[in-house]
Amino acid sequence: MFNHYFGQKLWAVFILVFFLASPAHSARIKDLSSIEGVRSNQLIGFGLVIGLTKTGDSAVNVFFSIQAIASMLKKLGVTIPTAEIGQLQFKNVATVIVTSDLPPFAKQGDNIDVTVSSLGDAKSLQGGTLLMTPLKGPDGETYAVAQGPLSIGGFSVSGSARGIQKNHLTVGRIVNGGQVEKEIEYDFNSKDEIILALKKTDFTTASRISRAINDDMKDSLASIINGGAVQVKVPELYMNNTSRFVTRIESLNVTPDAEAKVIIDERTGTIVMGENVKISSVAVAHGALFININEEPIADQPPPLAPENAETVILPRTRLAVGEGKDKLLVIPNSISLGDVVKGLNSIGVTPRDLIAILQAIKASGALHAYLELI
């Protein structure tokens, strides 16, 4: 039997988030912005992973794997004749790309995590060890060196007929596998001003951050550059100690301004609305149309004196029922709260998917004063 319903028979997950204006939800400046110039730097390197159990690169498809091995052995004092390099077969070695992030203010000798990804056609890096690999920045300078055993967070076992695999086997990670060799010079404490870069551009939030800093410091130190940046002068009390000044202002609480927005995911029926969503006077009619389709096949048997080659035939039979429930009309007055709107819509039996269609229609009519975003 096949049933198909429209209207009230559509069920989905409905999530409604209210950001109430009172009491206001504040956040630290530290969580709303970042300091311009204080960031991590990406590093990259080319290396070799050894110790694999015949799951490394094949010399036929990955010719540069043999070249990399020959070059490494030459640096270690092992010379391979040029004529024999092409005949080498190393199934326990894989060429990899090593990536990492150099944190801000990292010092020489600090340890950083590295990610190792297969570059050739290796089947697995399980059980492998990364050989010493220089990690370079965009300027070509070496800032760290990585080495150590890999952890891939998975496994692969197989028999003659079938096998099983968990997670990706060609990407591994070495916790604290890199060591910083070169520092990035940055005298932060000598700065006489800092720029706070907002994580989400908003002029109102930037204004509130500026006002919170000025009120706390009892001075006009902060000013808005634009909706995404606030310039803050370092007071004389904190000259040559900018880090302490940043520690003070980043803990200040600011109430961020929220844009009037409705987020709709039609695939799951999820709706998220903020408190600033406003609806003008509008009338909403909601009908309960449903269609019920039942397939009930019947068997047509041959008569008693039918020929011997007569067979029973299955004949299709479809029962179709169409009905429409009682229509309801809801009048939504101007500038009521979002909670009252949802309560009113629920009172006429609106389901999440119906609510999506209603919100889209209200937006099209111009009565919904919010940005409607479909994901």
pLDDT digits (tens, 9 = 90+) for 140-169: 999 999 999 999 877 666 666 566 766 778
Nearest to 177 by CA among 149, 197, 202, 212: 149
pLDDT digits (tens, 9 = 90+) for 191-232: 999 999 999 999 999 999 999 999 999 999 999 999 999 999
pLDDT at 16: 41
Q: Where are the domains of the chain?
A: 3-19+261-374, 41-180, 187-254
What is the pTM (predicted TM-score) of this model? 0.65
pLDDT at 69: 76
In the DSSP assignment, the letter for residue 151 is: B
pLDDT at 300: 72
pLDDT digits (tens, 9 = 90+) for 288-313: 544 454 556 677 777 776 677 777 77
Residue 340: other Cβ atoms inside 10 A = 12
Nearest to 22 by CA among 337, 342, 343, 367: 337
Give yes or no for a contact between 10 and 103, defined as CB atoms under 8 angstroms apart.
no
Q: Give the Cα-Cα-Cα angle 355, 360, 366 (nearest 5 degrees).
A: 125
Average confidence score pLDDT of the chain = 78
Question: In which residue ranges of the chain is pLDDT below 70?
Answer: 1-24, 59-63, 81-89, 155-163, 165-166, 284-297, 305-306, 316-350, 352
Cβ-based neighbours of 314, under 8 Å, separated by 6 or more: 297, 298, 299, 300
| Residue 189: both structure tokens together | 């404490």
What CATH number labels 187-254? Answer: 3.30.70
CA distances from 318 to 2, 24, 314, 323 (A): 10, 58, 13, 16
pLDDT at 108: 93
Give yes or no for a contact between 178 and 144, defined as CB atoms under 8 angstroms apart.
yes
Amino acid identity for residue 307 in this structure: P
Partnered with residue 289 across adjacent β-strands are: 324
| Residue 109: both structure tokens together | 């000798």
Q: What phi-psi label fits residue 54: left (phi over 0), alpha (psi between -120 and 50 degrees) or beta?
A: left
| Residue 144: both structure tokens together | 């760290």
